[in-house]
Structure 1
Amino acid sequence: MASSLVIKVTAGADAPERCNQAFTVAAAAVASGVPVSLWLTGESAWFALPGRAAEFDLAHATPLPDLLDILLSAGRVTLCTQCAARRNIGPDDVLDGVRIAGAPTFVEEILTDGTQALVY
Structure 2
Amino acid sequence: METSKLLIISTIGPENPEKASLPFVLATASQALEVEVTMFLQSSAVVLAKQGEAGKVIAEGFQPLREMLDTFLEMGGKLYLCSPCLAQRNIGHDELIEGAQIGAAGTLVVSVMGASKVVTY
**Which deviations, in whole Å up to 9, do the C-alpha atoms of 1:25-51 show, x marking residues without a partner?**
011111221110011111111111111
Offset at residue 107 of structure 1 (A): 0.6
What is the CA RMSD across the aligned residues, in angstroms? 1.6
**Mapped partners of 2:14, 2:51: distance in 1:** 16
Q: Is the 8 A contact 2:6 2:38 kept in 1?
A: yes
Task: Normalising by structure 2, report the TM-score.
Answer: 0.91
Structure 2 SS opposite 1:92 = helix
TM-score (norm 1): 0.91
Shift of 1:15: 2.6
The answer to whether the Cα contact below 8 Å between 2:14 and 2:47 also exists between their aligned partners in 1 is no
Cα contact 2:43–2:85 (8 A) shared by 1 = yes
The runs of 5 or more residues in structure 2 that have no matched partner are none
Q: Which residue of 2 aligns with 1:26?
A: 27
1:107 is the counterpart of 2:103: no
2 CA distance for matches of 1:72 and 1:89?
A: 20
Shift of 1:99: 0.4
Paired residue for 1:86?
A: 88
Unaligned runs of 5+ residues in structure 1 are none
Which residues of 2 match residues 7-86 of structure 1 at below 5 A? 7-73=8-74, 74-86=76-88
Residue identity (%): 32
Q: Give, in angstroms, the shift of residue 17 of structure 1.
A: 2.1
Aligned length: 119
Counterpart-to-counterpart distance in 2, 1:14 and 1:92: 23
1:20 positional shift: 1.2
* SS of corresponding position for 2:81: strand
**Whole-angstrom CA distance in 1 between matches of 2:58 and 2:72:** 18
**Corresponding residue of 2:119:** 118
